Chains A and B, each alone.
Chain A
Amino acid sequence: MSSLPSPSAEDHFERRKTGIGVRMTLLYSLVYAGFVAVSVFRPQWMAARAVLGLNLAVAYGLGLIVLAIALAMLYNQLCRTPRQSGAEGGRP
């Protein structure tokens, strides 16, 4: 049987979550800013074939949407409370 985390452990956990959230936001912001920068300063690159037959514009745009969903899932995994993780036999 698991027990509730102590207040200090909870504070520590909340701080950790905030840190993860900020880092992920910065990471996504960088990728998003890259997209805007290429569109503005090198728009001709966007017509070039990139992956799976898609041009860079479509591949980068769809990639941003898929990345957002993937980061959201990852964040949820990293932000599960110690109680949840313990009950499910996961990491402390």
Chain B
Amino acid sequence: MTVIVFLLFVALVLAVSRYTSRRAQGVGGYFVANSSIPWGVNGIAFAGGYLSVASFLGICGLIAFFGYDGFLYSIGFLAGWIVALFVIAEPMKRRGTFTFSDALNRTFSHPGIQLAAGLSVLVVSLFYLVPQMVGAGVLVEPLLGIPHYWGVLIVGSVVILIVAGGGMTSTTYVQFFNGGLLLLVATVLTGAVLFRGIDLEQLPPEEGGAQVPGYEYRVLPAQIDGQSVTVDLRGVRLVDRHAVLDHNTGEEQTVLYRLSHLVPAQAGPGDVYSAEIKGRSARFNGRSGPGWSIEEIDGGTYVRIEDWWRWEGGTSSHLAETQARTVRPDGVVLMNGAPDGPENRIRQMGGVSALPDAYGRQTGPVGPLRLLSVFADQDTVVEVPRNTSFATSGGERVTVHYEQSLAGSTFMRPGLMFPLEARTGEPAFTTLLNRLNFISLMLALFLGTSALPHILIRYYTVPSAEAARKSTIVAIAGIGLFYVLTMYLGVGSIAAGALNPETSNMSAPLLARSFGEVLFAVTSGIAFTTVLATVSGLIMAASGAVAHDLMTNLAKREVSDAAKVRAGRIVAVVVGLVGIVLGIAFRDMNVSFLVGWAFAVAASANLPALLSMLFWKRTTAQGIIASILVGIGSSVGLILLSPDMWVRYGFDPATAPMPINQPGIVSIPLSFAVLVVVSMATQKRSRTTAGAAPGTA
């Protein structure tokens, strides 16, 4: 059914695109839908284009895994719209025709501005495009059971059809269609979450129709003395030990013990054995294999496996079961010590294990404020999935997944993803960097929205400045409502215990699955159209930038409207293909994280130029060009030198030249400063052209 619903949504999107593409005639029709989109439709299209997979899948997943810190993205993403409405919307519409470089360049008519702005649109669009493409693959892989690259290829192909065929008109109505559906499904899911409330007995059916029962991870009493462990497991032997260190303090956070032990097995026909391991049925072909062996003891048949157990450290005298995926040097994959296979896959994790006394074992249906209040109670205990990856001395790559018990009052306040509070033993400089990183992210989110190219071009699809304002207000209302709902989708996901510990991005669809296959199929289909809508807008913005801004300048002659449209279509195809390649190449990158960087690049490259053009009379063309180029260069450069990128290069993140991951706190002020300094230095040259005072917009 999921496949049918998925194909139905793709067909609907293509039908909407085909139906509306007839209006995309001429340069105005192709690039700005003849500025004829009604403000209400444009407002919902704003929401449909803006609410990307990072908002729908990314934020829900972050809230489910990191509690309140995920909601910080919702707050920042929405707050940025205030700048867009109050400062940018109407002046942009009044000053521009096709792209935001029109508005920047209206006073100066300088080819350099158009080139720099066009380049900026391309860079930001590509930064934003990669996570969308990656998200498409992440979604399609478990949904349709096809490889990641197929998801990227499908999205790329459909979007090329939408944009190259129907231009901005088709893109607008696809985004409108998606925005409406997204709000609808988020509202329905929230209603279902509130009706269900919190139930400590809740065990989600894992594979929908298969109704695989839930599994309670074992916690066994143990005697732990340095390198030796005594625990009640048959034939137990200690094989390995791995300590997870606190990134900031260097102290042992938790210790993992690799134990070899026996599990009862059943012999089947043809030398095949089966055993139940952590509620899953595992199959073993033959008497032994990599990492396991069959043993006969006292007339019983057992399989000896090696799996990982967690000790919380300190005075704890218990070992807790975990889930572990091991990739051996020969490429063999083991799940919990047994061969990986369709029936031995990773289990969902998460849940609520305790409620305040007043509620007993379940809350029953609750109101929206009550649900959040119960979640934030200090007597509520939330089981949050955590993982750690490391290499063993034998060259195996191991990822261990376990649950961490947290009080609700800790889960529902900042601190799990962004460690803002100084902890015992943490150097003061580390605390300072953690705080700067957080401030930098919140700054980029606040200032980035109004500088995103696929948002800026939407001011030109409506007939007037007043319509631009009204459509922005509709967008704020729709997006604001959606972001409030993300909180319920996030906490609903963990309350349902429906989290895939290997990817937080699947939290919203898995929450839907806990209510039944139909809702799961519809939610997944809408998530996929979300990718289509956002990617269409980005490719449209890139297409306009190249055809309208870069080509006109590089050709150094007047380009006909027909040639611009033709170039726009070709660029849409090329950017779509580049997006496909990058989406496949960056498949392991975190979706929300990359989007955060796109905001930082947009805020650094575009916002200083936009604000100074509107509010500072002494702005010069040279100042704008320098600000855009420095904004792009510094933000992208600092990202490439950040600790997270250092890890990807295979270096120690502590040695990264840029000590924090978010560049905005450096690159945004730097871009402003360069604009002021260069404008002041070039006053004489630009005196004749800089006179037309912005500020009166």
The residues of A that contact B68 with a CB separation of less than 8 Å are 46, 57-58, 61
Chain A, interface SS category: helix
A52 part of interface (Cβ distance < 8 Å): yes
The residues of A that contact B476 with a CB separation of less than 8 Å are 68-69, 72
The residues of B that contact A14 with a CB separation of less than 8 Å are 696-697
- Across the interface, name the chain B residue whose C-beta is closest to A23: B86
- Across the interface, name the chain B residue whose C-beta is closest to A64: B75
The reply to whether A47 and B82 contact each other, CB–CB distance below 8 Å, is no
The reply to whether B79 and A69 contact each other, CB–CB distance below 8 Å, is no
The residues of A that contact B415 with a CB separation of less than 8 Å are 43
A81 part of interface (Cβ distance < 8 Å): yes
Q: Choose one: B78, B85, B483, B696; the contact of A75 (CB below 8 Å).
A: B85
The reply to whether A55 and B409 contact each other, CB–CB distance below 8 Å, is yes
The residues of A that contact B696 with a CB separation of less than 8 Å are 11, 14-15, 18
The residues of B that contact A47 with a CB separation of less than 8 Å are 376, 409-410, 412-413
A4 part of interface (Cβ distance < 8 Å): no
The answer to whether residues A18 and B697 also contact, given A61-B75, A69-B476 and a CB cut-off of 8 A, is yes
B548 part of interface (Cβ distance < 8 Å): no
The answer to whether residues A76 and B79 also contact, given A57-B413, A65-B74 and a CB cut-off of 8 A, is no
Closest CB in chain B relative to A34 CB, distance in Å: 12
The reply to whether B71 and A25 contact each other, CB–CB distance below 8 Å, is no
The reply to whether A68 and B412 contact each other, CB–CB distance below 8 Å, is no
A29, A35, A58: which has the most chain B beta carbons within 10 Å?
A58
The reply to whether A72 and B85 contact each other, CB–CB distance below 8 Å, is yes
B206 part of interface (Cβ distance < 8 Å): no
The reply to whether A65 and B78 contact each other, CB–CB distance below 8 Å, is yes
Cα–Cα distance between A1 and B638 once the two chains are bound (Å): 59
Closest CB in chain B relative to A65 CB, distance in Å: 5
Chain B, interface SS category: helix
Cα–Cα distance between A25 and B373 once the two chains are bound (Å): 31
B369 part of interface (Cβ distance < 8 Å): yes
A87 part of interface (Cβ distance < 8 Å): no
Closest CB in chain A relative to B44 CB, distance in Å: 15
- Quick one: CB contact mask for B470-511 with A, threshold 8 Å, 1 for yes? 101100110010011001000000000000000000000000
How many of chain B's residues touch chain A, expressed as a range?
Answer: 35 or more
B81 part of interface (Cβ distance < 8 Å): yes
Q: Choose one: A20, A53, A69; the contact of B480 (CB below 8 Å).
A: A69
The reply to whether B470 and A58 contact each other, CB–CB distance below 8 Å, is no
The answer to whether residues A72 and B75 also contact, given A40-B438, A58-B372 and a CB cut-off of 8 A, is no
The reply to whether B414 and A25 contact each other, CB–CB distance below 8 Å, is no
Within 1-57 of A, Cβ neighbours of B (below 8 Å) are at 11, 14-15, 17-18, 20-22, 24-25, 28-29, 32, 35-36, 39-40, 43-44, 46-47, 52-55, 57
Q: Choose one: B370, B438, B473, B697; the contact of A39 (CB below 8 Å).
A: B438
The answer to whether residues A73 and B473 also contact, given A55-B376, A55-B409, A58-B376 and a CB cut-off of 8 A, is yes
The reply to whether A68 and B484 contact each other, CB–CB distance below 8 Å, is no
B87 part of interface (Cβ distance < 8 Å): yes
- Across the interface, name the chain A residue whose C-beta is closest to B79: A32
The answer to whether residues A40 and B82 also contact, given A18-B695, A58-B68, A58-B372 and a CB cut-off of 8 A, is no
User: Which A residues fall within an 8 A CB radius of B?
Assistant: 11, 14-15, 17-18, 20-22, 24-25, 28-29, 32, 35-36, 39-40, 43-44, 46-47, 52-55, 57-58, 61-62, 64-66, 68-69, 71-73, 75-76, 79, 81
A-B contact list, 12 entries, CB within 8 Å: A28-B86, A39-B438, A46-B413, A53-B369, A53-B373, A55-B376, A57-B68, A58-B372, A61-B68, A68-B476, A69-B477, A72-B472
* Apart from A43-B413, A68-B82, A68-B480, 11 more pairs, CB < 8 Å: A28-B79, A32-B442, A36-B439, A39-B72, A47-B410, A58-B487, A69-B480, A72-B81, A75-B469, A76-B473, A81-B466
